[in-house]
Amino acid sequence: MPLGGQSLVAHAAQNLLAARAAGDDRVRVLVVTAPAFHLDAIARELDGLDEVVLLVVAGGATRQASVAAGLAALDADPRASDVDVVLVHDAARPLAPASLVVRVIEAVRDGHPAVVPGLPVTDTIKRVAPHRGVTVEPVLETVPRAELRAVQTPQGFARDLLARAHAHGAEHAHDETLAASDDAGLVERLGEPVWVVAGDERAAKITTARDLAVAALPTESDE
């Protein structure tokens, strides 16, 4: 999907790699998971990235299975043997800035082995009792929004912790109803702490045509 003349995945990759200029940490291995029938097309979109080990591999039926496939590719490549921090990022968040990437990396290196960026929730949130086929649902409670964060990517992890979390949750990786919706959730299932750093509005997720149109609007930094 194009945005400003480039695919979303190319934007996402370039912004990850731009962390080299924004901080001391370097993103030097890039593993992209994609549907098996799109591997060549994705590789062409990322052709020309400098000074990075690029691996494009087939993903799985769920997000969790796709990340597991990416980790397996990382483990199989000797050029990545000394990588100790892994970022998990969505191509659907192509404009996440380098400053956010650096913030996540630094938090992991400062002793927080599982870190997610998040933004305060501004809407009032109700927890309901959902009923299939019913259009009117009863409210169970109003959740205090001061305690809530809308989580973004890239999420950052100590490599050994992320590998352990995926190994622990592997039996559910290919079942969409049971697989984790993000990697921090897998870490939580281990009973390990997850930490939140400040997110960034530019890391908004593109899901609909309207989201794509909004992403194409100039920002203050573009004007």
> How much is the CA Rg of the chain, to the nearest whole Å?
18
Please state, in angstroms and rounded to a whole number, the distance separating the CA atoms of residues 96 and 123: 22
pLDDT higher than 90, residue 142: yes
pLDDT higher than 60, residue 221: no
- Percent of the chain whose pLDDT exceeds 70: 96
Q: Domain map of the chain by residue range?
A: 2-215
For 15-50, what is each residue's pLDDT tens digit? 999 998 776 667 889 999 999 999 999 999 999 888
SS3 content of the chain, % helix, strand, coil (to 5): 40, 20, 40
pLDDT score, position 50: 81
- Burial class of 186 by CB neighbour count within 10 A (0 to 12, 13 to 18, 19+): buried
CA atoms within 13 A on the CB side of 79: 10
Residues 6+ apart with CB under 8 A from 27: 16, 17, 19, 20, 52, 87, 101
Domain 2-215 has CATH 3.90.550.10: yes
If one compares 23 and 222, the residue with the highest pLDDT of the two is: 23
* Number of neighbouring beta carbons within 10 Å of residue 89: 23
Q: Which residues pair with 12 in a beta bridge?
A: none
Closest CA to 33 of 48, 55, 6: 55
Closest CA to 104 of 70, 158, 154: 154
User: What's phi and psi for 19, nearest 5 deg?
Assistant: -60, -20
Buried b (16+ CB within 10 A) or exposed e, 40-73: eebeebbeeeeebeebbbebbebbbbbbbbbbeb
DSSP single-letter state for residue 141: E
For 191-204, what is each residue's pLDDT tens digit? 999 999 999 999 99
If one compares 166 and 176, the residue with the highest pLDDT of the two is: 166
- The token duo for 152 is 């973004």
pLDDT bracket for residue 223 (50, 70, 90): very low
Please, are residues 56 and 70 in contact by the beta-carbon 8 Å criterion? no
For 122-137, what is each residue's pLDDT tens digit? 999 999 998 877 788 9
Say whether pTM exceeds 0.75: yes
In this prediction, residues 162-174 reach a mean pLDDT of 92
